[in-house]
Amino acid sequence: MPREKPSANSRIGAGIFVSGRVQGVGYRFFTERVAARHSILGWSRNLPDGRVELEIEAEEEDARKFIKELEKGPAMARVEEVNVDWKPCAGRFKNFTIRV
């Protein structure tokens, strides 16, 4: 039996918090590059407590691949934890940006 195409409802959103040595090591720029590879929309920013926060929307499979890469990070980073809060896709983003 042929597989059906994924529906438009396969888009998903997520709020993500990344902790570890993720500031001052190019982590946000890394997220921007990886987001472009996986068609991720949303943003990333540094938090005062040393974590990086992201809000994303994407096809579920792309979002999961993106998060796998976030767990590794760029060479100078040391990712200790990635917390993901899955949520419905609200269609709020047109691109991926770094927020200051």
Distance, CA of 94 to CA of 65 (rounded, Å): 20
CATH 3.40.710.10 describes domain 10-98: no
Q: Which of 78, 56, 51 is nearest to 67 (CA)?
A: 56
The reported pTM is 0.89
Catalytic residues: 28, 46
CB neighbour class for 79 (10 Å; exposed up to 12, middle 13-18, buried from 19): middle
Asked if 13 contacts 67 with a C-beta cutoff of 8 angstroms, the reply is no
Show me where the domains of the chain are located: 10-98
Digit-by-digit pLDDT tens for the chain (100 residues) are 444 444 445 899 999 999 999 999 999 999 999 999 999 999 999 999 999 999 999 999 999 999 999 999 999 999 999 999 999 999 999 999 999 8
Distance, CA of 2 to CA of 43 (rounded, Å): 36
Q: Which of 71, 69, 94 is nearest to 81 (CA)?
A: 71
